[in-house]
């Protein structure tokens, strides 16, 4: 009788297994060898730990050395014991269950790569899933096997309890995970009412009819608008020098590699002769198969109706793909320079079209007024593009020549990242462009206000009247600025541990983007200076904006900065040579790098703290102005940036658990002229200082290891004429000193930055 093929395979595997066991039996160490190996390793480990303990604890004295060394060694011994116990337990568990646990751990390990901000929440969800599913599965399996009457009473009890825990845990877990979380609660708003702008609402549609078209390769496999239905054909460009780790799977999906990248764009443009300012917007990183470029149609319709050409640039082929990136093992590396470079290649196409008589955009493009906008990674890419635009060579490889020189007047970033690409290892510095950045306090993807880093690196050096502005929005997330992305900043099921209920409605978030972006382009590309006050003080546009809390920052080319706290480590000197800084009765006085929820803000500030319950004398901080380098008049305006540091200045005086009240901060601003005349105004004359805005991104407080808030600077400005109104003897032109007097809020710590004057 002939054996079946299955028996042949069984015999083959059996022989292989027997052979491997025989080989191991021949070479395996005996018990004595294992003990010797253990003792040898233990001696080496003890030597390392003792040497480490000696260097850590010996300088503190013999007693502390002895105690510290004992605890140090005990900690590692206990850790090893726990690991051994876990191993012994796992050895007693069936192989199939251990395999399932390993698969579960690998799954949550992969998901954790995308959800680091809520890592603890994800781990808790994973542990809960294992416990509930194991209890439920084990109980059902025992009951389904039968033999209930023959089962011992203890086993019956364990089975029933396990079943009950599994069912209850399943129901509660499903309810908790599919609930969107807790609603948004507005903290105290420090903003007072001010006179609204006497300008039309920039988010309202203009008078021009809007038309649309698509340009691209004409060969797109997945979208007819860039394939068979395309309106204008563009040629490919070679971006292979600016990207790494492009996989064959990515090429297989798109039908092209990095050496043949398409220039695809969807265009909204106004009817009429023109010429019209040109605006390009770049989306960010999202699943590449879920196309992102249609998500800015709301901006396209609005801006085209107001006389701008808006192009939403397709860069989906650079986005993340679990398939094309082989489960993120081979995702694109450092591609944000390529994203920025592609925008310049798009501008090259538009420059050509504007000069071709039979092109529909012939002489319709105002190439003297160009703006770049970007969202997320696109928000960094537009800064990279603006920097590359002025360079002769690619910073990381000078064999790649640049020759662009477009008149990019303005850059706007929506919830941008920063530092994914660093040209020549440095942060991207922008010179002589207008800059706007928007960010949400409840961003669940770009957790920190990363755009504040780029804001700090914008420089004005050519004397033209440019400005930079920042807006931080309570209740706004990452994705709702793009209508294709929506409320979920990541993918399911990761979003089940995020608190979605706290987000503002999508239409409110897009309304904010419409107001600020439209006003920004009107002010910088059209010279509508009436919109400028909006960026200095968001309260001027309260009638146009949803009801939430905003923190805004502003600086323009007419500002002469006295103290930026960036130049050195001497806390007593100003940035502008010749000045001096002094503190009096301060509980905190230090200059430091500003920390963020994740990393830092790439910017320094001075931290000033006071506690009136501890010190009987009022705390002050004074800046003596240089005798030269400043020309002040009665029309000059004192400006500075201030933020609540959310610190206790004197924690040693507080009882355990006692916290500094979180409330708007007020203080007194004093100015002193050369004759000693003093004039005073409260900070609240412009605005109270807003407390830090907390954005709890997880459903429970424990779910995120990151801080729930960070310092966001708020712009303040005080006309010197307003001080003169309180003391007519005060001479603004002779201003000699500016003081912050901490006499209106009893305790607090603030960070001060960018003190200067604007005409």
Same domain membership, residue 634 and residue 687? yes
In a domain, 523, yes or no: yes
Average pLDDT of 527-547? 94
341 burial class (0-12, 13-18, 19+ CB within 10 angstroms)?
buried
Strand-pairing partners, residue 742, are 619
CATH of the domain at 463: 3.40.50.1820
Q: Where are the beta strands (DSSP E) in 318-401?
A: 365-375, 393-394, 397-401
Average pLDDT of 553-581? 94
Same domain membership, residue 591 and residue 489? no
Across the chain, what does the average pLDDT equal?
88
In a domain, 195, yes or no: no
Domain that holds residue 524: 210-556
Same domain membership, residue 700 and residue 572? yes
In a domain, 36, yes or no: no
Assigned token pair, 210:
């809007």
- Residue 13 vs residues 20, 24, 506: alpha-carbon distances, Å: 11, 16, 60
In a domain, 611, yes or no: yes
User: What is the per-residue pLDDT for 723?
Assistant: 96
pLDDT tops 70 at residue 170:
yes
In a domain, 4, yes or no: no
176 burial class (0-12, 13-18, 19+ CB within 10 angstroms)?
middle
**pTM of the full structure:** 0.87
User: What is the per-residue pLDDT for 99?
Assistant: 72
User: What is the per-residue pLDDT for 311?
Assistant: 98
Same domain membership, residue 101 and residue 116? yes
User: What is the per-residue pLDDT for 193?
Assistant: 74
pLDDT tops 70 at residue 150:
no
Average pLDDT of 503-527? 97
Q: 186-244, pLDDT tens digit by residue?
A: 777 666 678 899 999 999 999 999 999 999 999 999 999 999 999 999 999 999 999 98
Q: Mean pLDDT lowest for which of 282-296, 480-494, 652-666?
A: 652-666
Q: 310-369, pLDDT tens digit by residue?
A: 999 999 999 988 777 766 666 788 799 999 999 999 999 999 999 999 999 999 999 999
Domain boundary among 540, 556, 572: 556
pLDDT tops 80 at residue 578:
yes
- Sheet harboring 210-216: ordered strands across? 232-233, 210-216, 264-270, 309-314, 276-282, 365-375, 408-414, 434-440, 467-473, 550-556
Same domain membership, residue 271 and residue 403? yes
Strand-pairing partners, residue 452, are none
Assigned token pair, 561:
């900065």
Report the alpha-carbon distance of residue 520 to residue 535 in Å, rounded: 8
Same domain membership, residue 584 and residue 545? no
User: Which of the two residues, 282 and 322, has the higher pLDDT score?
Assistant: 282
Q: 365-402, pLDDT tens digit by residue?
A: 999 999 999 999 999 999 999 999 999 999 999 999 99
442 burial class (0-12, 13-18, 19+ CB within 10 angstroms)?
buried
What is the greatest pairwise CA distance in the chain? 119
CATH of the domain at 579: 2.60.120.430
Identify the helix (H) or strand (E) that includes residue 643: strand 637-644
Report the alpha-carbon distance of residue 649 to residue 608 in Å, rounded: 9
Same domain membership, residue 420 and residue 323? yes
How many distinct structural domains can be found in the chain?
A: 3
User: What is the per-residue pLDDT for 172?
Assistant: 83
Q: Mean pLDDT lowest for which of 80-94, 285-299, 420-434, 503-517?
A: 80-94
In a domain, 698, yes or no: yes
């Amino acid at each position: 009788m002939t054996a079946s093929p299955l028996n042949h395979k069984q015999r083959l595997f059996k022989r292989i297994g027997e052979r491997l066991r025989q080989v191991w039996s021949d070479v395996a160490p005996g018990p004595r060898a294992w003990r010797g190996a253990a003792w040898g390793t233990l001696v080496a480990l003890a030597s390392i730990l003792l040497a480490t303990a000696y260097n850590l604890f010996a300088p503190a004295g013999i007693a502390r050395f002895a105690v510290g060394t004992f605890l140090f060694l005990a900690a590692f011994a206990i850790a090893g014991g726990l690991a051994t116990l876990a191993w012994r337990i796992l050895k007693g568990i069936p192989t199939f269950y251990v395999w399932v646990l390993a698969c579960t751990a690998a799954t949550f390990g992969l998901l954790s790569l995308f959800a680091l901000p809520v890592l603890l929440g994800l781990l808790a969800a994973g542990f809960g899933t294992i416990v509930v599913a194991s209890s439920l599965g084990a109980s059902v399996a025992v009951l389904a096997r039968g033999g209930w009457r023959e089962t011992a009473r203890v086993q019956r009890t364990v089975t029933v309890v396990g079943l009950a825990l599994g069912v209850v845990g399943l129901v509660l877990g499903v309810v908790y995970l599919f609930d969107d979380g807790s609603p948004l609660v507005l903290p105290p708003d420090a903003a007072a009412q001010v006179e609204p702008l006497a300008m039309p609402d920039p988010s309202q549609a203009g008078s021009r009819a809007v038309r649309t078209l698509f340009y691209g390769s004409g060969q797109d496999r997945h979208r007819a608008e860039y394939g068979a239905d395309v309106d204008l054909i563009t040629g490919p460009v070679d971006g292979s020098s600016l990207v790494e780790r492009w996989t064959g799977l990515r090429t297989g999906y798109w039908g092209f590699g990095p050496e043949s990248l398409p220039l695809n764009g969807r265009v909204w443009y106004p009817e009429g002769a023109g010429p019209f300012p040109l605006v390009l917007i770049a989306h960010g990183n999202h699943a590449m198969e879920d196309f992102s470029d249609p998500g800015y149609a709301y901006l396209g319709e609005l801006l085209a109706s107001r006389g701008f050409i808006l192009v939403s640039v397709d860069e989906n082929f650079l986005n993340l793909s679990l398939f094309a990136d082989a489960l993120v093992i081979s995702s694109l590396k450092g591609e944000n320079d390529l994203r920025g470079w592609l925008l310049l290649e798009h501008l090259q196409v538009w420059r050509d079209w504007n000069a071709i008589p039979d092109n529909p955009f012939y002489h319709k493009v105002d190439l003297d007024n160009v703006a770049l906008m970007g969202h997320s990674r696109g928000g960094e890419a537009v800064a990279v593009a603006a920097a590359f635009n002025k360079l002769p060579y690619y910073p990381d490889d000078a064999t790649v020549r640049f020759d662009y020189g477009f008149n990019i007047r303005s850059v706007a970033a929506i919830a941008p990242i920063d530092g994914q690409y660093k040209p020549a290892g440095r942060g991207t510095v922008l010179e002589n462009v207008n800059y706007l950045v928007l960010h949400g306090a409840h961003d669940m993807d770009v957790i920190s206000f990363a755009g504040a880093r780029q804001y700090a690196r914008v420089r004005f050096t050519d004397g033209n009247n440019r400005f930079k502005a920042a807006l931080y929005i309570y209740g706004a997330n990452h994705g709702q600025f793009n209508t294709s992305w929506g409320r979920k900043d990541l993918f399911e099921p990761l979003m089940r541990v995020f608190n979605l209920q706290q987000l503002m409605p999508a239409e409110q978030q897009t309304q904010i983007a419409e107001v600020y972006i439209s006003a920004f382009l009107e002010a910088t590309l059209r010279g509508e200076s009436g919109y400028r006050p909006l960026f200095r003080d968001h309260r001027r546009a309260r009638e146009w904006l949803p009801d939430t809390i905003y923190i805004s920052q502003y600086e323009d080319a007419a500002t002469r900065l006295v103290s930026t706290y960036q130049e050195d480590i001497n806390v007593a000197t100003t940035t502008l040579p010749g000045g001096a800084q002094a503190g009096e009765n301060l509980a905190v006085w230090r200059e430091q790098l500003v920390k963020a929820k994740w990393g830092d803000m790439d910017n320094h500030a001075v931290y000033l703290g006071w506690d009136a319950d501890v010190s009987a004398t009022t705390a002050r901080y004074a800046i003596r102005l240089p005798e030269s380098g400043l020309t002040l008049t009665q029309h000059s305006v004192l400006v500075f940036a201030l933020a609540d540091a959310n610190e206790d200045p004197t924690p040693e005086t507080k009882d355990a658990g006692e916290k500094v009240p979180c409330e708007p901060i007020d203080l007194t601003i004093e100015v002193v002229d050369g004759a000693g005349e003093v004039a005073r105004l409260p900070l609240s004359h412009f605005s109270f200082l807003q407390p830090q805005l907390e954005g709890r991104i997880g459903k429970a407080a424990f779910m995120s290891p990151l801080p729930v808030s960070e310092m966001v600077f708020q712009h303040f400005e005080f006309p010197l004429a307003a001080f003169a109104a309180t003391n007519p003897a005060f001479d603004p032109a002779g201003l000699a000193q500016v003081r912050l007097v901490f006499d209106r809020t009893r305790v607090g710590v603030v960070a001060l930055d960018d003190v200067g004057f604007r005409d």
